[in-house]
Amino acid sequence: MILPRTKLGKVILCGLFAAILCILAIITIPIGQVPITMALLGVFMTAAILPPFSATASVLVYILIGAIGIPVYSGFGAGVGVLLGATGGYLMAYPVMALAVSGFLKLFKNRWYGYWLGAVAALLLCYGFGTLWFCKVTGTGFTAALAVCVFPFIPFDIVKAAAAFGVKAALIKTIK
């Protein structure tokens, strides 16, 4: 985790990571009702680099930017309608994911296994909440929703988590 020395530094880092998330989330590969998006890469990077409160705040800022109508959700989506739509549960899980990853990192004193425990917990939270939300909004059964919303994404999401960990490692090496 990067710990800024001043309150202004914390605010600047939160804003920077919210902006990074806004940019990454727009990158989308449509494969059905739930697209592959680079937003999770942004969530993982934010959580790997910032302390828990800052990581969660950054992701909440991203959610709020999209909710007020600025097109920063996947495929240039925006508005409360996206949050209440079929994929809204995944978006709403992002702040909790950031807290989980960053929290586990803090708990395990920035060790690699703390990151991976947090990443697995975060993905389970995202898949669980997002899939239940998808079922509720679309009327799809849970097993069918898993086939559409979870199983195709597991390999991509593991790669995103690994890439974020690599960015963190490279950044730490550069700073030292």
Q: Please tell me the pTM assigned to this model.
A: 0.94
- Token reading at 142: 């849970």
Please state, in angstroms and rounded to a whole number, the distance separating the CA atoms of residues 117 and 61. 25
- Topology of domain 7-175 in CATH is Arp2/3 complex 21 kDa subunit ARPC3 (1.10.1760)
Question: pLDDT 10s digit of each residue in the chain, 176 long?
Answer: 666 678 898 899 999 999 999 999 999 998 888 899 999 999 999 999 999 999 999 999 999 999 999 999 999 999 999 999 999 999 999 999 999 999 999 999 999 999 999 999 999 999 999 999 999 999 999 999 999 999 999 999 999 999 999 999 998 888 76
Max distance between CA atoms of the chain, in angstroms, equals 51
**Orientation angle between helical segments 88-107 and 52-67, nearest 10 degrees:** 170
Q: How would DSSP label each residue in 77-144?
A: B-SHHHHHSTTHHHHHHHHHHHHHHHHHHHHTTT-HHHHHHHHHHHHHHHHHHHHHHHHHHH---HHH
